Amino acid sequence: MSGNSDRAHLNRLTNFNEAEKRFGFAPCMAHFATHDVRQDYLGLIINKNSWLREQVNRRIQWLRSYGIVNYLYKQYNPPGCRVTKLKDRRKVTKSLSFTQMQGVLWVWLVGMFLATLVFMLEKLIKILEKATRNDHIETYPDMMLK
């Protein structure tokens, strides 16, 4: 499609997709790409019984299990025309602000304070018990000799 700028291309494609009643709900008839259409595939050539093969497979499985592969795929292939259902579209999440995390921080601080207080009380009780036991032994030295 011809046009003077990216905005002109985008407007024409948007109008085309709206005219076809395919805007936002089904695969688009035309898509505006800001990057090269060509896709490159990266592969590793590893010997059949190589120890490296198993390590690479484990790392790839680890990346998939934590969703890193899907995250990177969606980052470079944004939802739009490739998604057929509206519920499959991924919303862009925003990072939490400090005021939103303030409650969690207060709970953590109170918990740490109480844990430290209990720890100090336990140490104090142990020291006092040891001191009273030593006083008892010093009071009756006859029992130590027997």
Tens of pLDDT, residue by residue over 75-132, are 666 555 554 444 545 555 677 788 888 888 999 999 999 999 999 999 999 999 988 8
Query: What is the tens place of the pLDDT at every residue in 47-82?
Result: 778 888 888 888 888 888 888 877 777 766 655 555
Question: Which is more confidently placed, 86 or 36?
Answer: 36
| Contact present, 80 and 31 (Cβ < 8 Å) | yes
Q: What is the pTM of this model?
A: 0.32
Position 25 scores a pLDDT of: 45
Position 2 scores a pLDDT of: 46
Position 138 scores a pLDDT of: 58
Question: Which is more confidently placed, 88 or 15?
Answer: 15
Rounded Cα distance, 29 and 36, in Å = 18
pLDDT at 140 over 80: no
Rounded Cα distance, 81 and 27, in Å = 5
